[in-house]
Amino acid sequence: MHVHKNDMVLVVSGNSRGKSGKVLRVIPDREKLLVEGVNIRKRHTKPTQSIPAGGILEREQPIHASNVMVICPKCNNASPVGYATVAGVTGRKQKMRVCKNCNEMF
């Protein structure tokens, strides 16, 4: 996937368009991810030992990975992600992500 955990992303389509946040969790088999503060839904919860009060809780719900763009840590702009192959520390080839705006690897 073009998005990894702890990346900053910008939502480009859907109800949360224009919001940005940090990726909390990536679900690669469903091509979805959880983004902090994006796609908040209300969940009615019964009291349990871990949540003694119960009630209506607000939680982030997964969104599809195609609806977000990674914010480049170098230029701080949302941009498409490309890939480049470079020699790693051990001499093996390694696939790195590249910002399409500033051509920096991250």
The DSSP element (H or E) to which 70 belongs, if any, is: strand 68-71
Q: Check if the beta carbon of residue 83 is closer than 8 Å to that of residue 95.
A: yes
Q: Residue 88: phi, psi to the nearest 5?
A: -80, -175
Q: Which two tokens stand for residue 29?
A: 């088999």
Contact status, residue 9 vs residue 18, Cβ threshold 8 Å? no
pLDDT greater than 90 at residue 90: no
pLDDT for position 34: 97
pLDDT of residue 80: 93
Give the pLDDT confidence score for residue 89 in this predicted structure: 78
- On the question of pLDDT at 7 being above 90, the answer is yes
pTM confidence score: 0.83
The single-letter code of the amino acid at 80 is: P
Cα 68 from Cα 5, distance rounded (Å): 13
* Domain segments of the chain as ranges: 8-71, 79-106
CATH of the domain spanning 8-71, picked from 3.30.1120.80, 1.10.10.10, 2.30.30.30, 3.40.50.1370: 2.30.30.30
